[in-house]
């Protein structure tokens, strides 16, 4: 899709003012490419520099994180929090701990979060944060000391009515616990709603662990139903083997699909009889080992392939759940040749622009991450709701809310795409629906 000439100066300014931030440029271009018909129908959205404002974070925080490792050596990492847009509510978005984290990646994630959170229908704005700290191979004591140092700076910028971080890659319940403990220690307040992804015994929500993976599959289920289809008997490939991937696989299996492959950074495993999810959980959640060990622990029928693309494995449905830009145009071409009928992004922007174009031109059902993986942040908002009312919901009650939210997101995207003359284009539908909700709030609040 080409960008409307009225929006070209906006993208040019974004690229000039954020030099070298390729992922942020990619995310901004993808949204702006969808908005030509919106601006043509509603010229007011191009007034008052609204488009320029929505592409500029309200606040960008970068800070030093010093901590001491187990050998007594001082280590230095860099921390980030980009508070992108609060027109709909307090900033909401995860914290990512990974060596690849830099300002451009945090801005891309925060920008995507604006529209994802808007699509959820919940009263939350968009933000993101993290650090280039690598938790892999670090002891629990080192991770605790890092988290405490990170929160010692971050605490002054967050709050349940200001900015509510959650987990992301490299940040799970353990890390959230260490950070919440330090926040409580510094502020002398048990402010449960300041972080989400907490443990069930101290303010967490049931289904939060499963929410992103479950939500992606619920979206896919709804999308398949528009073609009179379902997961029953379908071969499914899921990249990754972390939290999102594990619970996407779990829900696929519940709905009758057969997950034949999953992966990590060391390669992928295939199991034609269906991936043994109990074993994957043991490897990743208990042993914290590499997925390659699946073969030696499972044996019969499984094999591991290193340094190769998981997208070479023939499948009916593909769910990329690892990281941004993991699924290239070449991989998309291979999937289409092998007969893939649907792709849903469990990770944030895992498909390159070329891959997305190939899926759309092949009439493959394609769900963009800002819609299909919104279940995680939606359930985080449900956790905030429970914290505010000092309440705790059952697993069944929370999962039912999640399923309802994901169905509504799907329908909102589909109906918006139809309304703007692009039926079946979930990318355009998600971008336009999310943008309109945020734009209306920004107009109502004035030039701020």
Average pLDDT per block of 10 residues along the chain, 448 residues long: 91 98 97 97 96 98 98 98 98 98 98 98 98 96 98 98 96 97 98 97 96 98 98 98 97 98 97 96 93 89 94 98 97 98 97 98 98 97 96 97 98 98 98 98 97
- Model pLDDT, residue 2: 84
Full residue range of the structural domain in which residue 48 is found? 8-54
Is residue 42 domain-shared with residue 66, that is, in the same domain?
Answer: no
**Which residue, of 372, 405, 439, is where some domain finishes?**
372
Tell whether the torsion through CA atoms of 150, 151, 156 and 160 is positive or negative: positive
CB 112, CB 349: distance < 8 Å: yes
**To the nearest 5 percent, what fractions of the chain are helix, strand and coil?**
50, 15, 35
Which residues have C-beta within 8 Å of that of residue 400, sequence separation ≥ 6?
A: none
- Is residue 337 a part of any domain in this protein? yes
- Is residue 285 a part of any domain in this protein? yes
Q: For residue 104, what is the domain's CATH number?
A: 3.40.50.10860
- Is residue 342 a part of any domain in this protein? yes
Query: Residue 364: phi, psi to the nearest 5?
Result: -75, 130
**Which residue, of 323, 357, 372, is where some domain finishes?**
372
Alpha-carbon separation of residue 386 from 180, 213, 226 (angstroms)? 17, 21, 33
Is residue 335 domain-shared with residue 234, that is, in the same domain?
Answer: yes
- Is residue 387 a part of any domain in this protein? no
Q: Which helix (H) or strand (E) holds 264?
A: strand 258-264
Is residue 361 domain-shared with residue 225, that is, in the same domain?
Answer: yes
| 419 conformational bin, left if phi > 0, alpha if psi -120 to 50, beta if neither | alpha
- Is residue 23 a part of any domain in this protein? yes
Domains identified in the chain, total number: 3
**Token match 């040749």: residue?**
337
**Which residue, of 372, 398, 420, is where some domain finishes?**
372
- Is residue 125 a part of any domain in this protein? yes
Which residues have C-beta within 8 Å of that of residue 328, sequence separation ≥ 6?
A: 352, 354, 355
Is residue 159 domain-shared with residue 244, that is, in the same domain?
Answer: no
Is residue 252 domain-shared with residue 335, that is, in the same domain?
Answer: yes
| Coil/strand/helix, residue 126 | strand
Is residue 268 domain-shared with residue 154, that is, in the same domain?
Answer: no
Is residue 234 domain-shared with residue 367, that is, in the same domain?
Answer: yes
Tell me how far apart the alpha carbons of residues 174 and 273 are, in angstroms, rounded to a whole number: 33
Which residues have C-beta within 8 Å of that of residue 6, sequence separation ≥ 6?
A: 36, 39, 46
- Model pLDDT, residue 438: 98
Is residue 179 domain-shared with residue 301, that is, in the same domain?
Answer: no
User: Which residue blocks in 125-188 are alpha helix, DSSP H?
Assistant: 140-154, 173-187
**Per the structure block, which two tokens stand in for 339?**
């007969």
**The length of the chain, given as a count of residues:** 448
Is residue 172 domain-shared with residue 262, that is, in the same domain?
Answer: no
Tell me how far apart the alpha carbons of residues 411 and 321 are, in angstroms, rounded to a whole number: 22
Contacts 24+ apart (CB under 8 A), 409-415: 409/119, 409/120, 409/121, 409/219, 409/371, 409/374, 410/219, 410/222, 410/223, 410/371, 411/222, 412/119, 412/121, 413/119, 413/371, 414/226
- Model pLDDT, residue 11: 98
- Is residue 24 a part of any domain in this protein? yes
Is residue 225 domain-shared with residue 120, that is, in the same domain?
Answer: no
- Is residue 180 a part of any domain in this protein? yes
Active site (catalytic) residues: 128
Is residue 356 domain-shared with residue 227, that is, in the same domain?
Answer: yes
Is residue 42 domain-shared with residue 63, that is, in the same domain?
Answer: no
**Per the structure block, which two tokens stand in for 79?**
């921390």
């Amino acid at each position: 899709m080409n960008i409307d000439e009225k929006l070209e100066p906006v993208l040019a300014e974004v690229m000039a003012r954020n030099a070298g931030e390729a992922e942020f440029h990619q995310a901004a271009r993808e949204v702006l490419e969808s908005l030509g018909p919106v601006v043509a129908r509603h010229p007011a959205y191009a007034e008052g520099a609204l488009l320029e404002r929505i592409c500029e974070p309200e606040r960008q925080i970068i800070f030093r994180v010093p901590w001491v490792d187990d050998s007594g050596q001082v280590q230095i990492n860099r921390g980030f929090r980009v508070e992108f847009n609060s027109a709909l509510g307090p900033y909401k978005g995860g914290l990512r701990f990974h060596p690849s984290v830099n300002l451009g990646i945090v801005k891309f994630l925060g920008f995507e979060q604006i529209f994802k959170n808007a699509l959820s229908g919940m009263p939350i704005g968009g933000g993101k944060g993290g650090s280039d700290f690598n938790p892999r191979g670090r002891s629990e004591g080192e991770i605790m000391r890092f988290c405490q140092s990170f929160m010692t700076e971050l605490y002054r910028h967050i709050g349940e009515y200001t900015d509510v971080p959650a987990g992301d890659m490299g940040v799970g319940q353990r890390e959230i616990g260490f950070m919440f403990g330090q926040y409580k220690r510094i502020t002398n307040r048990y402010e449960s709603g300041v972080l989400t992804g907490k443990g069930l015994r101290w303010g967490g929500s049931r289904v939060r662990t499963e929410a992103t993976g479950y939500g992606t599959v619920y979206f896919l289920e709804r999308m398949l139903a528009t073609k009179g289809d379902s997961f029953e008997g379908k071969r499914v490939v899921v990249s990754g083997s972390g939290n999102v991937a594990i619970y996407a696989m779990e829900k696929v299996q519940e709905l009758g699909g057969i997950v034949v492959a999953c992966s990590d950074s060391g390669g992928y495993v295939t199991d034609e009889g269906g991936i043994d999810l109990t074993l994957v959980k043991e490897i990743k959640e208990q042993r914290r080992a590499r997925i390659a060990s699946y073969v030696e622990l499972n044996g019969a029928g499984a094999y591991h392939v290193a340094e190769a693309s998981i997208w070479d494995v023939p499948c009916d449905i593909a769910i990329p759940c690892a990281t941004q830009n993991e699924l290239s145009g070449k991989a998309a071409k291979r999937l289409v040749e092998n007969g893939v009928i649907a792709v849903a992004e469990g990770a944030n922007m895992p498909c390159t622009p070329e891959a997305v174009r190939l899926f759309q031109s092949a009439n493959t059902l394609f769900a963009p991450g800002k819609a299909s993986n919104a279940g995680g942040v939606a359930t985080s908002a449900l956790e905030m709701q429970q914290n505010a009312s000092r309440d705790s919901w059952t697993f069944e009650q929370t999962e039912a809310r999640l399923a309802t939210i994901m169905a509504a997101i799907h329908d909102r995207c589909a109906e918006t795409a139809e309304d703007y003359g692009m039926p079946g284009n979930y990318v355009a539908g998600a971008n336009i629906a999310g943008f309109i909700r945020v734009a209306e709030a920004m107009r109502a609040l004035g030039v701020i």
